[in-house]
Each structure stands twice: as C-alpha cells, then as structure tokens.
Amino acid sequence: MLKGGGVPRDCLSLFLEVLDAVQQPNGDGRIGKDDVRILSRANFERRIEELKQDSEGSEQGILIKGIYVLRQFCIEKRSNVLLVSEALP
C-alpha cells in the first residue's frame, strides 16, 4: 500500500481504517481506490496537526512549508522517492 509510505505500521493502520469505513452500514464492504484516497488525505492532515503539536511555534511555519514543497515535488515528478546528497553545498 503506497499510501502508507512504505512504513508497515502506517500501511496496516490505513488498511484497518479503510476496512472499518467500508464495513459501515452505508459501505458495500469493498475497498476501492477512492476509499484509500479519502483516508490518505485525512491521514496527511492528521500528520500535519501532529507536527504542529510536536514542534515549537517558531519552527512550525518552515516545517509545514517544507512538507508542502516536498509534496508538490512528488506530485510533479509522480514519484515518492527522493535522493538527498550527503555532501554539503
């Protein structure tokens, strides 16, 4: 499950959330890509809120900006893989 970012714990957590959602009375019991997208979006937003709580006020802006820069990069490149050089500029 790519939406979990390759982290087994996150993949399992998202799977259990989407499974619970499709088993509700208005669900048909099948997991579709839209179900995963909706929960992935909610998970992303929840992670942003956790980041805000875990960081100091002065750090929040730059951290949030960095996340959205990375997000935009991944969307444009259609990839979730980044290569970061160890060499300092």
Q: At what angle do helices 33-54 and 57-77 cross, to 10 degrees?
A: 150
Answering whether pTM is above 0.75, one says no
Q: What is the pLDDT of residues 74-85, one digit of tens each?
A: 889 988 777 888
| pLDDT at residue 89 greater than cutoff 70 | no
Name the range with the highest mean pLDDT among 16-20, 22-26, 55-59, 75-79. Answer: 75-79
| pLDDT at residue 53 greater than cutoff 80 | yes
Q: Cα-Cα-Cα-Cα dihedral of 29, 30, 33, 37, to 10°? A: 20
Tally of structural domains, the chain: 1
Residue 12 lies in a domain: yes
Residue 47 lies in a domain: yes
Residue 31 lies in a domain: yes
Residue 22 lies in a domain: yes
Residue 68 lies in a domain: no
Question: Three-class SS of residue 80?
Answer: coil
Residue 70 lies in a domain: no
Instruction: Identify the domain containing residue 46 by its residue range.
Output: 2-55
Residue 44 lies in a domain: yes
Average pLDDT for 4-29: 77
